[in-house]
Amino acid sequence: MLLYFILMSIFKTDLAKPYGAYAGYWQAIGWAIPIIGILVFIISIFAFSGEQELNYTEFELYDTMDSNKIAAIEAQEAAELEMVGKEAEPAVEIKKEDVAVAQE
């Protein structure tokens, strides 16, 4: 509904005050682009709305893994999280005295 309102207000503005000294086909192109975008969106909703069946054989599920492999994955994830935490820490510690000296 909001998109419809925006498009209609643009059309109304364009009809009341055309694009300066540009030719009329630029006005038509300016209208065609949003209309084509909406049509592509609506067509894609109906064209690709079919249900796809997931093939679980492509994935290795936790249910089928042994405990050693699960422990290795968890350890790798923990190490990655630890590295992210270290990257978030500042490399240089800033002290209040240094800031006061820099401001003077």
The whole-number pLDDT of residue 67 equals 83
Say yes or no: 21 and 41 in one domain: yes
Residue 103 falls within a domain, yes or no?
no
Separation CA 27–CA 103 (nearest Å): 56
* Amino acid at residue number 44: S
Task: State which residues form the domain around 39.
Answer: 2-47
Residue 71 falls within a domain, yes or no?
yes
Residue 74 falls within a domain, yes or no?
yes
Separation CA 90–CA 97 (nearest Å): 17
- Number of domains, the chain: 2
Exposure string (b/e) for 34-51, b if CB count within 10 Å is 16 or more?
A: eeeeeeeeeeeeeeeeee
Residue 40 falls within a domain, yes or no?
yes
Across the chain, what does the average pLDDT equal? 78
Residue 30 falls within a domain, yes or no?
yes
Summarize pLDDT for 13-24 with one digit per residue, the tens. 877 877 777 787
For the purposes of burial, counting CB atoms within 10 Å of the CB of 31, is it exposed (0-12), middle (13-18) or buried (19 or more)?
Answer: middle
Residue 102 falls within a domain, yes or no?
no
The pTM for the full model equals 0.41
Say yes or no: 10 and 42 in one domain: yes
Summarize pLDDT for 69-93 with one digit per residue, the tens. 888 888 998 888 888 766 555 556 6
Summarize pLDDT for 50-59 with one digit per residue, the tens. 787 877 777 7
